[in-house]
């Protein structure tokens, strides 16, 4: 799990199955608890961070949409199923499903280590990954059938506004950091937006904006080849100095210190 100790953007469908202990997971600043026997699913481009305990163990499979197409699986079949869950990215598995997925992932790992270099290595591994994807799709589809979205409690207006704000924020945080912008897009006043978001999340609009910007900055500092100056411009800061002051004010570290940590 060391790959996930810092915020990182994963360009893949990511599946985690907890086999021991428990861990906190941040997905685009939403927090989930992954316990033994539960599964976590995340769509491509989410930013993930895992706060794992020393006894935490997890089977993880990350599959890029491009690779899915190479093995003749259209990712568009699975992505809509994943999107239905919304905030429910983490849920318990039955013992049978947990065991089946664990053995499939273990077999993939074994073939990658043992069968490397044989004539049919690629075909064997591709077949196992296809079987795993279809099994996950089956698990998710059955869960939707058992708990249809229309049977879930209706969200009140404040929660609807919150989800709308979070969607707009994920699309625009790199260039737009004013409360007025998001209020205007949502056709409400800045004061009303501020009141709603604070009541629902215990964070202000400005705090959410700062957290999204800092999360993206951390990801780029750790996992991209961009210079600090390039990151500053990418996130729409006027210069590197302004970005450095902003980053240190929110994290306690300069960008270079974080990059080297």
Helix (H, G, I), strand (E, B) or coil at 153: coil
Q: What per-residue confidence (pLDDT) applies to 213?
A: 92
Nearest CA-CA partner of 130 in 72, 77, 80, 79: 72
Task: Give the mean pLDDT of the chain.
Answer: 84
Among 151, 173, 190, identify where a domain stops: 151
Tens-digit pLDDT profile for residues 131-172: 998 898 888 888 777 765 544 444 567 778 887 888 888 889
Who contacts 69 (Cβ-Cβ below 8 Å, separation ≥6)?
75
- Residue 41 forms beta bridges with which residues? 15
Distance in angstroms (rounded) separating the CA atoms of residues 131 and 104: 8
Residues 10, 110 within the same domain: yes
Identify the CATH number of the domain in which residue 246 sits.
1.10.10.60
Question: Which stretch, 49-58, 93-102, 165-174, 199-208, has highest mean pLDDT?
Answer: 93-102
Give the confidence band of 231 by pLDDT, cuts at 50, 70, 90.
Answer: very high
Q: What per-residue confidence (pLDDT) applies to 73?
A: 76
Residues 117, 221 within the same domain: no
Among 151, 166, 192, identify where a domain stops: 151
Burial class, 261, CB count within 10 angstroms (exposed 0-12 / middle 13-18 / buried 19+)? exposed
Q: What per-residue confidence (pLDDT) applies to 151?
A: 44
Taking residues 170-192, what's their average pLDDT? 92
Whether the predicted pLDDT of 184 surpasses 90: yes
Residues 49, 79 within the same domain: yes
Distance in angstroms (rounded) separating the CA atoms of residues 162 and 195: 11
Q: Which two tokens stand for residue 229?
A: 């100056």
Residues 239, 175 within the same domain: yes
Whether the predicted pLDDT of 224 surpasses 80: yes
Whether the predicted pLDDT of 14 surpasses 70: yes
Identify the CATH number of the domain in which residue 115 sits.
2.60.120.280
Q: What per-residue confidence (pLDDT) applies to 67?
A: 84
φ, ψ for residue 114, nearest 5 deg: -95, -40
Whether the predicted pLDDT of 114 surpasses 80: no
Pick the more confident residue, 76 or 7.
Answer: 7
Give the confidence band of 245 by pLDDT, cuts at 50, 70, 90.
Answer: very high
Q: How many other CB atoms are found less than 10 A from the CB of residue 94? A: 11
Torsion, Cα of 137, 143, 148, 149 (10° steps): -70
Tens-digit pLDDT profile for residues 25-43: 888 778 888 899 999 888 7
Rounded to an integer, what is the distance from CA 189 to the centroid of its chain?
30
Q: Residue 124 sits in which domain range? A: 2-151
Residues 118, 91 within the same domain: yes
Tens-digit pLDDT profile for residues 74-106: 665 666 566 555 556 788 999 999 999 989 998
Q: What per-residue confidence (pLDDT) applies to 154?
A: 45
- Total number of domains in the chain: 2
Would you say 61 and 132 are in contact if contact means Cβ atoms under 8 Å apart? yes
């Amino acid at each position: 799990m060391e790959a996930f100790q810092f915020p990182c953007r994963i360009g893949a469908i990511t599946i985690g199955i907890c086999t021991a202990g428990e861990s906190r997971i941040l997905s685009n600043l939403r927090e989930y608890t992954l316990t033994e026997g539960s599964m976590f699913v995340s769509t491509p481009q989410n930013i993930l961070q895992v706060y794992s305990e020393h006894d935490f163990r997890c089977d993880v499979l990350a599959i890029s949409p491009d690779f899915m197409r190479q093995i003749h699986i259209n990712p568009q079949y699975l992505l809509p199923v994943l999107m239905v869950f919304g905030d429910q990215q983490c849920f318990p598995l039955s013992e049978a499903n947990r065991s089946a997925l664990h053995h499939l992932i273990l077999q993939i790992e074994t073939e990658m280590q043992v069968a490397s270099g044989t004539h049919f290595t690629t075909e064997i591994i591709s077949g196992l990954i296809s079987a795993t994807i279809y099994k996950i799709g089956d698990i998710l589809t059955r869960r939707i059938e058992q708990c249809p979205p229309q049977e879930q409690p209706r969200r009140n207006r404040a929660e609807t506004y919150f989800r709308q704000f979070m969607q707009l924020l994920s699309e625009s945080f790199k260039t737009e950091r004013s409360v007025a912008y998001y209020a205007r897009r949502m056709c409400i006043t800045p004061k009303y937006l501020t009141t709603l978001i604070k009541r629902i999340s215990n964070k202000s609009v400005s705090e959410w904006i700062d957290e999204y910007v800092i999360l993206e900055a951390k990801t780029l500092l750790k996992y991209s080849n961009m210079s600090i100056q390039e990151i500053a411009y990418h996130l729409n800061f006027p210069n590197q100095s302004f970005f450095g002051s902003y980053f240190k004010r929110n994290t306690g570290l300069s960008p270079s210190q974080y990059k080297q940590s």
